[in-house]
């Protein structure tokens, strides 16, 4: 229970995966003939929006080497909250094979949580902001599925929907002509991820055989078995992560015996 150390890095992995969505955005400037004269990759950093705003406002002189350059983007995690709409049975578990395929682990079903993100875009020209915005919006309808390796030890990957909640714009221009203008676009996102608890070694092995006996009557004390259905994985030593099929067999009986699970034979 509480006090058992485990750390799957799920929140960290979700933050990194979210940032990779916006780390390759470019803007272009063209001359009157439509030729590209400038192609800029928009820098992206994990930082609070207030930090960039303070630097822009306090270093208004573009000739200073410490002045921040625009355009620029930043993002940060702004909150985490439980999502009851994706709730599952709290006591249900599932088994998974470790990455090396040698051990079987047991883990409770993950708990659904929403992680809120805020992406800030800072530009000097409104056309730059429109270029970036049009490179983002078409992929969110209103969500974009992002595959994240949540628990690498058991190879658990899930598609995390990233939902675009809304966009706001702010023209941060006040003062005289010597003041620096900055347009700020704010994108609010929600990533619907899952958090896993501790992973324990499973005491039970994998189920490699399913057997069903069928009777002519629901009262087995008077009914005779007529048919047995058996299914095993093909190959028999396949793991859950392998690409395998099933071998099915049907047997028919005319005796009055019953199968004993404890002795694993007909009696």
The dihedral formed by the CA atoms of 45, 184, 186 and 12, expressed in degrees to the nearest 10: 10
- Residues whose CB falls within 8 Å of the CB of residue 134, separated by 6 or more in sequence, listed in order: none
Q: Are residues 16 and 148 in the same domain?
A: yes
147 confidence band (pLDDT: 50, 70, 90): very high
Residue ending a domain, choose from 157, 174, 201: 201
- Which of 216, 212, 205, 218 lies closest to 259, judged by CA? 212
Quick one: pLDDT at residue 100? 60
> Has residue 36 been placed in a domain?
yes
pLDDT in tens, 11-60: 999 999 999 999 999 999 888 888 888 899 999 988 877 665 665 555 54
> Has residue 246 been placed in a domain?
yes
Distance, CA of 129 to CA of 116 (rounded, Å): 22
Distance, CA of 201 to CA of 194 (rounded, Å): 21
Distance, CA of 194 to CA of 86 (rounded, Å): 10
Quick one: pLDDT at residue 82? 95
Residue 28: domain span: 10-201
pLDDT at 67 over 50: no
Q: Tell me the whole-structure pTM to 2 decimals.
A: 0.67
pLDDT at 76 over 90: yes
Tokens for 36, please give them.
């590209």
> Has residue 3 been placed in a domain?
no
């Amino acid at each position: 229970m509480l006090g058992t150390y485990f750390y799957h890095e799920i929140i960290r992995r979700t933050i990194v995966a979210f940032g990779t969505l916006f780390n390759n955005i470019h803007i272009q400037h063209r001359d009157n003939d439509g030729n590209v004269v400038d192609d800029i990759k928009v820098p992206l950093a994990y930082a609070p929006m207030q930090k960039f705003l303070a630097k822009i406002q306090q270093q208004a002189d573009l000739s200073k080497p410490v002045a921040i350059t625009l355009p620029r983007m930043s993002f940060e995690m702004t909150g985490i909250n439980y999502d009851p709409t994706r709730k599952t049975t709290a006591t249900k578990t599932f088994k998974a094979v470790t990455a090396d395929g040698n051990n079987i682990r047991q883990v409770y079903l993950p708990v659904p949580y929403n992680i809120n993100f805020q992406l800030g875009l800072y530009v000097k020209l409104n056309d730059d902001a429109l270029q970036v915005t049009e490179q983002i919006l078409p992929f969110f309808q209103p969500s974009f599925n992002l595959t994240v390796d949540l628990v690498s030890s058991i190879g658990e990957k899930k598609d995390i929907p990233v939902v675009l909640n809304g966009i706001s714009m702010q023209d941060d221009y006040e003062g005289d002509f010597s003041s620096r203008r900055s347009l700020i676009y704010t994108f609010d996102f929600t990533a619907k991820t899952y958090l896993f608890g501790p992973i324990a070694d499973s005491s039970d092995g994998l189920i490699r055989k399913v057997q069903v006996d069928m009777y002519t009557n629901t009262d087995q004390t008077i009914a005779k078995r007529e048919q047995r259905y058996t299914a095993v994985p093909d190959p028999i030593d396949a793991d859950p992560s392998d690409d395998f099929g099933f071998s099915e067999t049907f047997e028919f009986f005319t005796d009055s015996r019953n199968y004993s699970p404890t002795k694993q034979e007909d009696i």
